[in-house]
Amino acid sequence: MAKLDLGGLIKWIILIAVAVFVWKQGWPWMKDKLGGSGSVSDAGTPALTCAAQAENASAEWGSGIGRFVNPPLDESAWGSFRSRVDGEILQARGYCGCAESSCAKAREALNDLDSLVRSFDTALRSGSPPGMDAVTRQESIDQKIEQARSLAKQGK
């Protein structure tokens, strides 16, 4: 009878989460950058800029979390990565002070991302696996950012 490898399962879940993130966020971002068809980042309105900055913070998280799936934890590298992500979140919050619904939705996404980062930090530093809901939480963050972008495009 096969023994359940919880560490391997968690690695796969995180890798799948990163792949979903790249597919849902990275690909459209890349198309916007290469195609230039009214991308969020060059639209200029505060609400669109807020959504773009929230997306940047989430992308920073997604771009590096996979390096920390396998033990042992390189605390120095993790600290640097976490600082970059925290910086992106802080920067995005600075752009998301507008009163529009889109900014409120982006702030929700940033709060959720900050909570996810803190959960991972606690788990990694204690040597325990991150929560099994990490993929679901990341998908929720991505959906909120997409909702913020959609609301911003509607002027809300």
- What is residue 35's predicted lDDT score, i.e. its pLDDT? 43
Q: Kind and range of the H or E element at 106?
A: helix 101-126
Distance (Å) of CA 89 to CA 8, 33, 115: 30, 21, 11
What average pLDDT does this structure show over 122-141? 86
Kindly report, residue by residue over 55-92, the tens digit of the pLDDT: 999 999 999 888 887 778 888 999 999 999 999 999 99
Q: Return d(Cα 63, Cα 59) in angstroms, integer.
A: 6
- What is residue 39's predicted lDDT score, i.e. its pLDDT? 38
- What is residue 103's predicted lDDT score, i.e. its pLDDT? 95
pLDDT above 60: residue 121: yes
Kindly report, residue by residue over 82-99, the tens digit of the pLDDT: 999 999 999 999 999 999
How many angstroms separate the first and last alpha carbons of the chain? 56
Residue 104's pLDDT band, with cuts at 50, 70 and 90, is: very high
Q: Return d(Cα 114, Cα 122) in angstroms, integer.
A: 12
Nearest of 64, 32, 36, 152 to residue 104 by alpha carbon:
152
How many C-beta neighbours within 10 Å does residue 21 have? 22
| Token pair 């998280």: residue | 61
